[in-house]
Amino acid sequence: MVAPVVRALYCLFVLLIPPRLAGAQDLAQQIAAAAAAAPGAAAATPAAEEDPVAKWWRDHVKGSFRSKTFASFQTTLEEQRTVRQEGLLRLEINQDLGQGFGLFLVPQWKADSGNYVKEPWMNFRDSTFHDPYFSFNQGYLRYRAESFDVTVGKQIYSWGTADGYNPTDYLLNPWDYQDIPDREKLGVFSISANYYLPNTSFQFIVMPHFTPSRIPMVNNRWLGVGEPARDLLGPFAKLALPLIDFIIKDGRKLPPKRFENTQVAFRAKTSAISGWDLSLSYFDGYDNLPVVSVGGPICVLVPTLGPVCVGPPKTVFPRVRAVGADFSTTFGKLEVHGEAVAKFYDAGLTTDRMPVVIGGRYVWDQSDVGGLGLEQILFVLEYGHDFDLHKRDNPLTRDLSFFVRPIQSTIISRVGFKIDDANELTLSGAVNFYGPNSGYLQPKYSYKFTDNLKAEVGFDVFWGDFSIKPVLIPPGLNQKLSFWGKWDRNDRGFLNLTYLF
């Protein structure tokens, strides 16, 4: 690792030397050449390569540094800042301990200019409201045998076959939603056991502690409450932010750390049917996104509902049981896939639902598109729909209208144009037809300077209506809501630089 970093710093130093110091640059090169030719220099090189620490680092540690710059075109009620920068240093340490045991650690250091990163370090649950400066993305101990393996620690799972959104995978890991287009999974402390048969595998997961998704705070433009607040409160819209902050932070009620709150998941996967990959899954735990509840100790008698007990608003995480399935198969160059999960919530806190995604992936290789000056074209097209199974029974709860149900009548697509090994253009997007039409589009161009250095430049574009007229207007009249429209002031450009070592 040391040599690449030194080389990178030297190159940066040379680029920054002004012309009037060119003589100093030549002098530095002469000194370096003289040092390389000095007696004993050749003998010193093998000794450095044999250093056990350097050898261990080279054999067991990989890493990356990523710099991200986001430039939004407008301010929002929640955030007046238009430019945010973020840096992420991540290491991957993979150590074989012998006798089938292995250790895998992914420590990371993160900082940004927008206060999305604010906590000193992660707690055991990884339940901080903001991203921590230091955390473990993953970290676990694994034992492998011939037909099974067991893993204990903080892990990230990947279930499902869809490309744009995986309903069967959604409940396993919480998500970091501090930046919606740049969201990523959070690891959970868990015990995972896999058993392997020919063409079939079984996975059983136990999660002793619940980890919630990390949602935007009131100083974050991705909270998406600005336009509705302006519609309802006009110039006093900012007065709503302290109440929202109280509900999200002070009112958050995590499931207690008790044995009965342990979460479990199971999946059986098989390719025994020729040409088909199939799986069935089950989850019993908590939804990682909360609902807002006003239940409390003050009880009143409502004629149509009976006794209703209310209190200060709070966010609670409903217990959910989910049964899922997915498949994938191929017809020549066409890959077809689909997945669905039926989710049943305790106490009617939110609507029982079944999100379904079905679609395909097709690849044209160089023999098909070489005449266009391309090496490959990848085309993915999917349709997602979220079916209601049973409407919410509890009158005192509401979904946290943030990233709930993102695929109600939605077309999801991705087209990738690989020009050569260094150049690639990708267009990704989604159009939601539930309510007023809304959508998201991301054109992105990637360029690889070397195998270790890559740049990405692109745009995130949102559209859709998300305005709520004053409450005096009867419900259903002049009320325009859409999923992606809540972020229609968040259009932006971005530049990402990634260095691997």
**171 burial class (0-12, 13-18, 19+ CB within 10 angstroms)?**
buried
pLDDT at 238: 84
Q: Which two tokens stand for residue 386?
A: 């979220």
Instruction: Read off the DSSP letter of residue 248.
Output: I
pLDDT at 191: 99
pLDDT at 467: 61
**DSSP E strands, 346-375:** 352-364
Distance CA 208, CA 23 (A): 64
Q: Tell me the DSSP string of 276-336.
A: EEEEEEEEEEE-SS-EEEEEEEEEEEETTTEEEEEEEEEEE--EEEEEEEEEEEEETTEEE
> Position of tokens 């890559």?
454
What is the crossing angle of helices 22-37 and 41-49, to 10°?
80
Residues with Cβ within 8 Å of 36's Cβ and at least 6 positions away in sequence, in order, are none
47 touches 53 (CB < 8 A): no
Distance CA 441, CA 429 (A): 4
245 touches 197 (CB < 8 A): no
Quickly count: other Cβ atoms within 10 Å of residue 383's Cβ.
Answer: 15
pLDDT along the chain (501 residues), means of 10: 42 37 42 45 51 92 98 94 98 97 98 93 92 97 97 98 94 95 96 98 98 94 82 79 86 94 98 96 96 79 66 90 98 97 93 97 96 97 96 81 83 98 98 92 99 98 74 47 89 99 96
51-500 is a CATH 2.40.160.10 domain: yes
Its sign, for the CA torsion 480, 485, 486, 489, is: negative
pLDDT at 235: 79
Q: How many CA atoms within 13 Å lie on the side-chain side of 491?
A: 12
Distance CA 447, CA 308 (A): 60
339 touches 160 (CB < 8 A): yes
pLDDT at 311: 78
- Phi and psi for 28 in degrees, rounded to 5? -65, -40
Nearest to 377 by CA among 332, 427, 327: 427
Instruction: Read off the DSSP letter of residue 388.
Output: E
Distance CA 169, CA 343 (A): 12
User: What are the residues facing 92 on neighbouring strands?
Assistant: 62
Residues with Cβ within 8 Å of 20's Cβ and at least 6 positions away in sequence, in order, are none
